[in-house]
């Protein structure tokens, strides 16, 4: 049975006391007063992120609030029964100039440990704060959630003297509001950075697996392996095959976290630039978007045949031209062992590996793939998509 409102409030104030003590709040008597009032507040979804905005009626500093025994928290409630699922509170900076957001889960068994979450906290004035974070950071799936903003002032600092033993509190809005969340859908990416890339930055031990010439009847088997191994990859697709083979796999790719790129309509040499090349790229992008709703921003020329004019043409159309620096030439079917050895022996931080999921018999590539993943992972590599490698922004709705 859910706790009565008074019990919930006292439990939440206790949570805030835990946050304050965890962050080293002073125990000296605070300046008298009442909790800060909330002028405006909201909890909305922006792509993958939750965005919490709050404006108080008084300028505030998280450090000064801590010293004064004040708290500013977002109370999260389950939409099904209005019970509290957690409390997210503003805490002073620890290793940067930006405030932290500290979360404490609340269950029927009690309160969990408090922890700082991965969040971006910004302020446009001394009386407001915006926190952006993934729902998973506060234990939420993408489903509706109720919320309130709570401000407190604890101890003898609070007036009137008839305040609750743990302090005064104020909730806004008075009745919990409903934030309607949905599973975000990837709809595009932003082609930032250089217009032509053969490998990524070397500052992280990451590697990008890419596959060309699909979609193909073998493509689902590649996805089976990647899903099982929890690896994300980038697939450069031929437009004329998207309608035939992409219907069953392209949405699956995007749902898995893979990325789809443009590999021309019919795999010709487009290095000469001009209307023919532009038409090949545009027709493929249209086919991918029509099938999935995703607008690609990555282009790979067949055979790696590029020119300065083609790279400029692709960028003007909204694409980064992607090539590679590790090539096992798996299209020539040199044998599973040869494919595996070339990939793992030439791997390095920021590498882009080209292999093929389409265009012919890809059984050797399929057989080599699990071994490649296991070896590279044992050597400390993480697998990323091309946008992740290049730190390009993905667009979600």
Long-range contacts, stretch 327-335, CB < 8 angstroms, 24+ apart: 327/353, 327/354, 328/353, 328/355, 328/368, 330/355, 330/356, 330/362, 330/364, 330/365, 330/368, 331/213, 331/356, 331/359, 331/360, 333/360, 333/361, 333/364, 334/364, 335/364
Task: Select from 146, 170, 14 the least CA-distant residue to 83.
Answer: 146
Among 232, 263, 267, 356, which one carries the catalytic annotation? 356
Catalytic residue flag (residue 356) = yes
Q: Which residues, other chains included, contact 267 with Cβ-Cβ below 8 Å and sequence gap of 6+?
A: 213, 238, 302, 359
Helix (H, G, I), strand (E, B) or coil at 286: helix
Query: What's 315's DSSP letter?
Result: H
Angstrom distance (rounded) from CA 84 to CA 197: 48
d(CA 96, CA 122): 12
- Which of 41, 212, 258, 262 is the catalytic position? 212
> Closest Cα partner for 212 from 263, 252, 264, 277?
263
Active site residue 348: no
Query: Active-site residues: which are they?
Result: 212, 356
């Amino acid at each position: 049975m859910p706790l009565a409102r008074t019990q919930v409030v006292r439990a939440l104030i206790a949570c805030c006391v835990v946050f304050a003590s965890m962050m080293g709040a002073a125990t000296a008597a605070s300046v008298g007063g009442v909790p800060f009032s909330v002028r405006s507040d909201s909890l909305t979804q922006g792509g993958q992120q939750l965005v919490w905005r709050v404006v108080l009626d008084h300028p505030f500093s998280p450090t000064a609030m801590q010293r004064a025994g004040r708290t500013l928290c977002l109370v999260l409630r389950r939409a099904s029964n209005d019970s509290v699922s957690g409390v997210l509170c503003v805490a002073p900076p620890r290793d940067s100039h930006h405030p932290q957001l500290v979360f404490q889960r609340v269950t029927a068994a009690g309160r969990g440990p408090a922890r700082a979450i991965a969040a971006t906290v910004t302020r446009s004035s001394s009386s407001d704060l915006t926190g952006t974070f993934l729902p998973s950071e506060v234990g939420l799936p993408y489903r509706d959630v109720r919320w309130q903003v709570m401000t407190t002032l604890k101890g003898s600092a609070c007036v009137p003297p008839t305040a609750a033993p743990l302090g005064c509190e104020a909730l806004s809005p008075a009745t919990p509001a409903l934030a309607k969340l949905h599973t975000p859908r990837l709809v595009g990416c932003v082609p930032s950075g250089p217009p032509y890339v053969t490998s990524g930055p070397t500052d992280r031990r990451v590697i990008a697996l890419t596959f060309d010439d699909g979609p193909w009847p073998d493509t689902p088997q590649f996805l089976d392996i990647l899903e099982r191994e929890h690896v994300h990859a980038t697939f450069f697709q031929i437009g004329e095959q998207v309608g035939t083979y992409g219907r069953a796999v392209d949405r699956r790719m995007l749902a898995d976290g893979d990325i789809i790129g443009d590999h021309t309509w019919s795999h010709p040499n487009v290095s000469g630039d001009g209307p023919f090349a532009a038409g090949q790229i545009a027709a493929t992008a249209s086919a991918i978007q029509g099938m999935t709703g995703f607008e690609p921003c990555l282009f790979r020329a067949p055979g790696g045949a590029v020119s300065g004019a083609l790279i400029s043409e692709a960028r003007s159309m909204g694409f980064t031209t992607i090539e590679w620096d590790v090539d096992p030439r798996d299209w020539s079917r040199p044998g599973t062992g040869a494919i595996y050895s070339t990939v793992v022996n030439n791997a390095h931080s920021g590498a882009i590996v080209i292999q093929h999921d389409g265009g012919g018999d890809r059984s050797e590539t399929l057989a080599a793939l699990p071994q490649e993943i296991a070896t590279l992972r044992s050597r400390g590599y993480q697998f990323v998509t091309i946008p992740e490698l290049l730190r390009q922004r993905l667009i979600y709705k």
